[in-house]
Amino acid sequence: MELEVSFKDISNEMTNILEEKNKAYGNSFDLTMDKWGTNVAGARLDDKINRIDGMLKDGNLVKNGESLLDNLFDLSGYSFLLIRYLVNKGVFTEDQVRKYFAVLDNQ
C-alpha cells in the first residue's frame, strides 16, 4: 500500500516540528543568527544538502540513526526559520513579503 501526503500535510508537520523545537530550545536559531550572522544559516543548509546528496548517491537512506526524511525535514525547517528571520528583520521590501504572505494584506 502506498501512502500519500499533500503539500499541506508536509507544511503542517513542518510547522508542528518547528513549534515543538522552539518550545524545547527557545528561539535558538534567531539568537545564533544575531550572534554569528547569516552565514550560519548558509552553513546549516549546506550541511544538510551535503548529507542528503550523500544518501541519494550511495543509496543508504539511513546513516547514524538519521534518515533521508529526517534530513529533508531539517533542510526545510532551516529554510522556514531563515525566511521568518529575514522577514522579521526587515531584509525584504514590503512588496516582496506581501507577494508570498497574502494574510498580511489585512494589515
Q: What is the pTM of this model?
A: 0.89
pLDDT in tens, 39-82: 999 999 999 999 999 999 999 999 999 999 999 999 999 999 99
Give the dihedral sign, CA 43/47/53/54: positive
Cα 35 to the center of its chain, rounded Å? 19
pLDDT of res. 104: 66
| pLDDT-based confidence at residue 105 (cuts at 50, 70, 90) | low
pLDDT of res. 52: 98
- The pLDDT > 70 percentage for the chain reads 94
